[in-house]
Amino acid sequence: MKNISNNIILAMLLLIQLTISSCRKVFLDEDIANNPKENFEYLWNDIKNRYSYLDYKGLDWNAIHDEYNAQIHDGMSQEELFSVLANMMNELKDGHVNLTSPFNLSIYFPITLNSPENYDGRVVLENYLLRNPDQYYITGPIQNSIFDTLGVKIGYIRYRSFSDQLKPSDVNYVVSRFNDENVDGVIIDVRSNGGGAVSNVFTFINRFVDSTRLAYISQIKTGPGAEDFGDDEMVYIQPVGSQQFNKRTALLTNRGSYSATSLFTLAARSLPYFKSIGDSTGGGLGAPTAAELPNGWTYRFSVTRTLSPQNDNWENGIPPDVLIDLDPVAEAAGYDNIVERGIQYIITGE
């Protein structure tokens, strides 16, 4: 009986101790969660250790720490803390960097806002896609058309977002249609396509590939050092489907061509019959990952870097083969000189 009583008492004491310990942990975690300094240091350190492009962008992250740490103080409001953390993250100048709270979302806009638009959707629709209305199709998320210019037959594809699910059957149909009509070349217009699912990149590009080719190299950040990256992951494109299109293809890009669209553009550079025309893409080649602050807010930033087969790092934007801005005079007259330059490439090869 005594042993039973002692066991009960011991069990009760352990339960009380665990309860006290758990309560202490809850209070400590709550203190950390509500402490602006703790949240600031947590975010700053995670970026220091895992963000892929501090060295590439020439950022002195320690100096940035000192600048924003001076703005952190006890008793600051949630909105004030969000503003400081978001402004610090925007020093990365990265469209893949976001801070999310129940009341706000930070986004870095200057990538597109500091550049010419170089795209007029109405001009493209009215004067190119609908030039021959009977030839205008919407196949899944792909707007596509065929028209004649100077005796040359042009296929036109407009893909607005890699977030729009692209089925293999969609691309197969469009490619088969172009091949059946014996078009001389294709224009792929991904201007102002802000990216989306990487799987759609390969569903699309693999129908335009002549042979297996190295598209790009991906590396994961493994530590705070400038070159602390894991092993190379070689990413290839290859012919898929019953038909491919391997004639001259003009790829139209602008600064709004971001993330997965930059990956598509990078993969297309390995194809000798592709020519990119317009402005540099917006970049965003690194893959972002999400994490959570002690206070429950979420954030994301890039933890990989992507290199060309020649080891070019174009995180800030892939340069076009032909750099050209949209001419406002031509635009007002209903012409897109970037599209016209693509047509010129298909006709002349230049």
Examine residue 71 and state whether it is found in any structural domain, yes or no: no
Confidence category of residue 29, pLDDT binned at 50, 70, 90: low
The total domain count for the chain is 2
What pLDDT digit, counting tens, does each position of 141-176 carry?
999 999 999 899 999 999 999 999 999 999 999 999
Do 145 and 28 share a domain, yes or no? no
Give CA–CA dist 342/324, Å, rounded.
11
Examine residue 284 and state whether it is found in any structural domain, yes or no: yes
pLDDT at 12 over 50: no
Do 257 and 149 share a domain, yes or no? yes
Q: Give yes or no for a contact between 193 and 185, defined as CB atoms under 8 angstroms apart.
A: no
Do 155 and 29 share a domain, yes or no? no
Q: What 3-state class would DSSP assign to 237?
A: strand
Give CA–CA dist 209/243, Å, rounded.
10
Do 315 and 194 share a domain, yes or no? yes
pTM: predicted TM-score of the whole model, two decimal places: 0.89
CA angle 158, 164, 170 (to 5 degrees): 65
CATH number at residue 325: 3.90.226.10
Examine residue 95 and state whether it is found in any structural domain, yes or no: no
Question: What does the pLDDT average to over 292-296?
Answer: 96
Do 18 and 125 share a domain, yes or no? no
Percent of the chain with pLDDT over 90: 87
Beta-strand relationship, 152-159 and 322-323: unpaired
Q: Radius of gyration of the chain from Cα atoms? A: 26
The whole-number pLDDT of residue 64 equals 98
Q: Give yes or no for a contact between 258 and 107, defined as CB atoms under 8 angstroms apart.
A: no
Give CA–CA dist 350/132, Å, rounded.
26
Give CA–CA dist 205/175, Å, rounded.
11
The whole-number pLDDT of residue 113 equals 84
Do 29 and 162 share a domain, yes or no? no
Examine residue 59 and state whether it is found in any structural domain, yes or no: no
**Residue ranges making up the domain that contains 216:** 121-348
What pLDDT digit, counting tens, does each position of 84-134 carry?
999 999 999 999 999 999 999 999 998 888 889 999 999 999 999 999 999
The whole-number pLDDT of residue 30 equals 61
The whole-number pLDDT of residue 27 equals 40
Q: Give yes or no for a contact between 54 and 88, defined as CB atoms under 8 angstroms apart.
A: no
- Mean pLDDT for the chain overall: 91
Examine residue 46 and state whether it is found in any structural domain, yes or no: no
Question: What does the pLDDT average to over 281-287?
Answer: 96
Closest residue by Cα to residue 275 from 206, 203, 187:
187
What pLDDT digit, counting tens, does each position of 307-329 carry?
999 999 999 999 999 999 999 99
The whole-number pLDDT of residue 251 equals 98
Examine residue 110 and state whether it is found in any structural domain, yes or no: no
Give CA–CA dist 85/65, Å, rounded.
11
Q: Give yes or no for a contact between 238 and 212, defined as CB atoms under 8 angstroms apart.
A: yes
Do 149 and 273 share a domain, yes or no? yes
Do 131 and 237 share a domain, yes or no? yes
pLDDT at 32 over 80: no
Question: What does the pLDDT average to over 23-43?
Answer: 71
Examine residue 60 and state whether it is found in any structural domain, yes or no: no
The whole-number pLDDT of residue 111 equals 85
pLDDT at 289 over 60: yes
**Which DSSP symbol is given to 350?**
-
Report the chain's terminal Cα–Cα distance, integer Å.
Answer: 98
Examine residue 170 and state whether it is found in any structural domain, yes or no: yes
Do 149 and 12 share a domain, yes or no? no
